[in-house]
Amino acid sequence: MKRTLIATALSLCSAGVLANSFQHQTNLDYQWGDILNADLRSYNLSHQFYLNPVQAANNMPLAEAGFLSRSSSLQFGYSYNQFDFGNLGKTSLSGWSLGGEYRDVSHNFYASLLWTELNNSDDRVGQASLGYYLDPSWLLKLDVEHLRPDGDGSVTQYGVSTKKLMTLAHGDFISVEASYMDQANSSLGRFGVAGDYYFGRNLSLGLAYDWTSKGVFNSESDAFTVRGQWYAMPNLALRAGVTFDSLETGDDLYHLGASFRF
């Protein structure tokens, strides 16, 4: 049970990094649901600092400004997760993450690094990616994930991921993502596909499907997410979503969040 709680907390801790010109973005996210017959409440605060000001183009989605600008950034996150087992009592896990992204308009290369640790524990996760922009709105990455569970040794997993933003007629857009990560010490792999439809610059609705499988189509477990985001102002975004049968918890997870840029 402890290992499942720790895996959930690590996943929630690292989650988390979404004005026409800005250099800072602060995100606040809240998730709730059930895990192992306990009520889960998760709070995540993260901040991303861009080394150069990001200019949100007037004809592109506000949510994709950081992706399209190719401005390098540093990011920090803190997560607090509470598990309520009713008569059996409560327990909590907190953690922090630190990382950054490197990219520049002068070339097509991309690199990122993220380090996540749980407080009062030896559990930690290191994630790194190397990528290349095939065109200004299409990024392809090779991903590495190093896990060191408390008292369980360490494992390294490898994968690949991609993201493409496509412009449609009448000022709408579609963002498409796909990923694969092998599961160390297992014959399973984790797959993911997602798409977000942008109704102009401010509003998006999206669907995501994640699954684990020995092949591509014979899923052992899967999760389906419905999500949406709205920029009520150029520097203020509100978002909500629900994940059915989350791969981390096995139960439904609900999500509310907000971002502020300055």
pLDDT at 184 over 90: no
pLDDT at 14 over 50: no
User: Long-range contacts made by residues 109-114, C-beta under 8 angstroms, separation at least 24?
Assistant: 109/133, 110/139, 110/141, 114/14, 114/75
Average pLDDT of the residues of the chain:
89
Of 96, 97, 127, 133, which Cα lies nearest the Cα of 113? 127
**What's at 136, amino acid-wise?**
P
Q: How confident is the model at residue 126 (pLDDT cuts 50, 70, 90)?
A: very high
What is the residue range of 151's domain?
2-261
Of 105, 191, 73, which Cα lies nearest the Cα of 143? 191
Is 42 or 219 the better-scoring residue by pLDDT? 42
Q: What span, in angstroms and rounded, lies between the C-alpha atoms of 27 and 260?
A: 7
HSE-CB at 53 with a 13 A cutoff on CA atoms is 8
Percent of the chain with pLDDT strictly greater than 90 = 67
**What's at 103, amino acid-wise?**
R
pLDDT at 245 over 90: no
**Would you say 32 and 41 are in contact if contact means Cβ atoms under 8 Å apart?**
yes
Q: How confident is the model at residue 204 (pLDDT cuts 50, 70, 90)?
A: very high
Of 106, 84, 104, which Cα lies nearest the Cα of 93? 84
Q: How confident is the model at residue 9 (pLDDT cuts 50, 70, 90)?
A: low
137-149 pLDDT per residue, tens: 999 999 999 988 7
Q: What is the pLDDT of residue 95?
A: 95
Q: What is the pLDDT of residue 15?
A: 44
- Mean pLDDT is lowest, of 99-113, 133-147, 173-187, for 173-187
Q: What span, in angstroms and rounded, lies between the C-alpha atoms of 81 and 226?
A: 22
* Number of domains composing the chain: 1
- Cα dist from 45 to 18, 70, 129, 232, whole Å: 11, 23, 23, 20
Of 197, 249, 245, which Cα lies nearest the Cα of 225? 245
Q: CATH number for the domain including 141? A: 2.40.160.40
Q: What span, in angstroms and rounded, lies between the C-alpha atoms of 131 and 139?
A: 7
Percent of the chain with pLDDT strictly greater than 70 = 90
pLDDT at 86 over 50: yes
pTM of the model: 0.87
Q: How confident is the model at residue 221 (pLDDT cuts 50, 70, 90)?
A: confident
- Mean pLDDT is lowest, of 54-63, 109-118, 174-183, 235-244, for 54-63
**What's at 83, amino acid-wise?**
F
**Kind of pairing between the strands at 173-182 and 189-199:** antiparallel
